A and B are shown apart, each in its own frame.
Chain A
Amino acid sequence: MDVNSIRDAFDRVVKKQKLSYSKTQEAIDQFSQEISDSIEKIRSAHNSDSHSDYKTLLADLKTKIKEMAPLTLLEGSQKELNVALSKYPKLLEKSFNPDISKAYRNVDLDTATINYVIASHFYRQGLFDVGDCFVTEAMEPESIASIRSPYVEMYQILEAMKSRNLEPALKWATSNCSKLKANGSDLEVKLHRMQFVEILQRGNRDEALKYARSHLAPFASDHLVEIQKLMGCLLWAGRLEQSPYPDLLSAANWDKLAEELTRQSCSILGQSFESPLGVTIAAGIQALPPLLKFMNVMWGKKQEWQSMKQLPVPVELDDAFQFHSIFVCPVSKEQATDDNPPMLMPCGHVLCKQSIVKMSKNLSKSFKCPYCPTDIDSNLCKPLCF
C-alpha cells in the first residue's frame, strides 16, 4: 500500500474542490454584477429620460443572462471535481481491503456477552468512567459489579505508587502474601526493598535500619544475598547514587514493580494480565488477512464456510498468541489428537500414530524414519504428552 499515492490523490481532490469553489464564487459574482449593471442602467435611463425604457433593459438582461448561462458555468467547474471525487474512492478500494466482512460467519454473537466482555475490558484497563457510562447505557449494572470493585482497588494502589507511596501496595501484599507465595512471586520483598531504599535515600539511616529489622529480616532465609547488599547500602544513606548500587534508584524499578503488581493482582483475581479482549482483537487483526485472501479465491464456496468446523487455511499467529502445544504430524500434516497422539520414535523424531501405523503396514514390520536413516521398530514408539 502506498500512502503517498493516496495522499496525492486526496490532494488532487482538495485542489479541485478549491478551484471549483473559487469558480463558483466568480460565477455568482459575475451574475450578480450583471444584475447590478442593469439596475444602474434602469436608474440612469429613468433620470435622463432616455428612450430605452426599463422593459427593454429587462429583456436585455434576460438575453445577457441567457448568453452567460451561469448554470453551465457552474457545471463546468464541477466536472473536474467530480472526476477526482470518483477516482479517489476507487484508489482506496484498490489499496485497501474494501470489504473485511467477507470472512464473517453469519452467526449471532450474543450482544449481552460481548457487552460483558467490553465492560470488563474497560475496568481492566482502569477506564472506570467510560466503563460506568457503558454499563448504564448498555447493560444491567448488577451483572458487572463484581468485576469492577477489585480493579478499583488495584488502580488505587497503582495510583499511589505513581506518587511514590507504597503504603497501599504493601498493605495489599501483606494481606495476600500466601497467594503471592503460591504464585511463586517475591513481590512482597521487592516492595519492602523499595520502601527501604526510599527511606534510606531520604537520609534517615536509623529509620531504614529499623525498617529492615522488622520487614526485611523475615525474608532472610530466601533472600540473604539481597538483604546483605541492602545492608551495605546503609553506608551511603542519602547518597545512594554514589554507592556501588546506584541502579537501586532507577525510575524503571518503579515501572517494573507496578507491572509486577498488576500481574500478580490480576492473577489473584483469576484474570489474565493482558486484556483478553485486546488479545483476541489483536489475534483477529493477524488472522483476518489470510482469511480474506482465502475468501477472495473461494468466494463460490461461501456456503461451506458458514459450516466449517476448522478454518480452511492455516493461520499463523505470533508466538505471543501461542497458549497451547500444537503438534502437527510432519508426514500427514494433521494435528495430533487424543486418538492420534504424537509418538516418539527411538531415533528421537516424532510422528503421529496414524502415520506410524501406515508406514509400518499396520505395525507388522519395521520402516525407515523419514528424517534419518534409522530403522524403526514400531513397538518401540511411545506416545508423548506435551
Chain B
Amino acid sequence: MDIDPLPNGTPAAAVAAAAAAAATNAPSSKLSQLTESLKLEHQFMRVPFEHYKKSIRANHRVVEKEVSAVVSAISDTADTTDVSGEDDAVDRLNSLVSRLQGLKRKLEEGSRTEHLQAQRSRARLDHLESADPENLSEWSNTRLKRILVDYMLRMSYYDTAAKLAESTNIQDLVDIDVFLEAKKVIDALQNKEVGPALAWCTENKSRLKKSKSILEFQLRLQEFVELVRADNSMRAIAYARKYLAPWGSTHMKELQHVMATLAFRSTTECATYKVLFELKQWDFLVDQFRQEFCRLYGMTFEPLLNIYLQAGLSALKTPFCTEDGCTKEDPLSQESFRKLAMPLPFSKQHHSKLVCYITKELMDTENPPLVLPNGYVYSTKALEEMAKKNNGKITCPRTNYGCDYSELVKAYIS
C-alpha cells in the first residue's frame, strides 16, 4: 500500500506539483539561472577581500613607520654630540635592535590575521563553487540565512546576527567582524562622541580621499557646533582654525554657515542655524558613516534583504493577489507583504500562465484548460477527476453551475 497522494483541492498539493513541474524544466536553463543568481554575490566575495587588503595595508604601514623611525634614530645618533661615550652608543643601538625585533614579532602577528582573512576569502570561493542544481535547496537556505545576517548587522541587531550565524554554522560566510568595526564607531556617534569616527577616517584616509568623502569635515563641523553649544567660543575658534580652515578651499559655504553659529548660539530661533544644533544631526552622521563604510567595503547601501525583497515582491505582485480567492502560498496574500509591496510596481509577463483554480496546477498542453458553458475554466485533470466521482456531472466550484462533462470544450492558449 502506497502513501496515497493528497486529494485534489489542497493548495499544498499544488505547490508540490508545481515544484515538481519546475524541476522537469530543461536542466540547462536551471544551470544558467543558477549562474545568473551567483553573479549577484559580489558583496559576498568583495567584503572579505577588502578586509584582507586593509589588514595588509595597515601592517605594511606599521613596518614603514617603524623602519623609518629607526633609520632617523640612527642618523640622529650619528649626528648628535650628546652621545656620552661608547657605552651610551652601544645602549642606543641596542635599543634600536630590540625595537626592530619587536617589529618582527608584530609582523608575524599581523601575518597570522592576514592568513585567517585569506582563508575566509577562500571559504567563500569554495561555497560559491559548491552551488549546483543538485543541492540548490540547501544552498538557497544558506543564502537566505546569509541575507538575514546581513540585515541584522546593518540594522545593528548584533546579537541576533551572531546567534543566527552560529546556529547554522555560517560564520565564515558572513561579515560579523567587519561590522563590529562599524559598531564601535556607530555606538560612539550615538553617544555623541566623534573620536572613533575620526580615527576611522584617519585609518582609511587615502581611500576616503579618493572617493571625495567629506565625512571627516562633517564630523569636524559637528564637533565645532558642540563647542559652540557649550559656549566655549575661544576653543571653538581655535578648533575651527586648526580643523575647519583646511577645508575652506573646497567647502567655504558650509564653513561660513557653521561659523555663523558663533553669533547665533545654541538658543537661536533662526531656522537656518537652529537645525545645526538639533540632535538628529548625530543620526545624520551615523547615516553618513554607514554609507562611507559600505562604499569602502564594496557593499550596497541598502541591506541585501531589502533589495531582494523588493525585486521579489514586484515579480510576485499581480492584480489578483488582493482578490479573495488568493492562495495562502502566495506571500502577497498576507497583510504584511501587501503593505511592503504597496509602493512597488506590478509584475509583467509576456506569456500566458494559467493556474487551475481547483488543483492549483499549471494548465498546459499536458493538462489543457477546459471551458464550462458558463465560461469558467479548469484543468482537464481536475474536471476528469470530478466527472469520475460524480457520474460525468460537473459542478463549477465558483458558481455552482452544473453541466455534463460532454459539454466542456477545449481552449487553446498560445
Contact = CB atoms under 8 A, between A and B. Distances in A.
B352 A326 contact: yes
Contacts of A357: none
Interface in A61-103: 61-62, 65, 70-71, 74, 78, 81, 85, 88-89, 92-93, 95-101, 103
Interface string B1-25: 1111011111110010011011001
Interface string B68-88: 101100110111000101100
Contacts of A100: 40, 42-43, 300, 304, 307
B329 A28 contact: no
Contact of B355 (A71, A116, A190, A325): A325
Contacts of B304: 100
Nearest to B320: A324
Interface in B176-207: none
B163 A129 contact: yes
B118 interface: yes
B93 interface: yes
B114 interface: yes
Nearest to B318: A324
A309 interface: yes
Contact of A21 (B43, B50, B107): B107
Interface stretch (B95-103, B225-233, B384-392): B95-103
A117 B337 contact: yes
In which size bucket is the chain B interface? Answer: 35 or more
A363 interface: no
A377 interface: no
B159 A133 contact: yes
B357 to A, nearest CB: 7
Given A325-B354, A326-B318, A318 B329 contact: no
B128 to A, nearest CB: 6
A282 B309 CA distance: 9
A39 B3 contact: no
Interface string A233-265: 000000000000101100001001100100110
Interface in A268-288: 270-274, 276-288
Contact of B37 (A39, A121, A285): A285
Contact of B46 (A45, A92, A253, A316): A92
In which size bucket is the chain A interface? Answer: 35 or more
A320 B357 CA distance: 15
Contact of A319 (B22, B46, B125): B22
Contacts of B360: 323
Given A85-B53, A273-B329, A276-B334, A311 B315 contact: yes
Contact of A283 (B104, B114, B316): B316
30 contacts: A6-B45, A24-B60, A28-B103, A32-B97, A32-B100, A35-B100, A54-B83, A54-B86, A62-B75, A71-B64, A89-B46, A96-B42, A97-B42, A104-B306, A104-B310, A105-B343, A105-B344, A107-B344, A109-B309, A114-B151, A267-B12, A272-B333, A277-B331, A284-B315, A287-B312, A311-B314, A311-B346, A317-B315, A326-B353, A348-B412
Closest 4 CB pairs of A and B: A284-B312, A276-B331, A284-B308, A287-B315
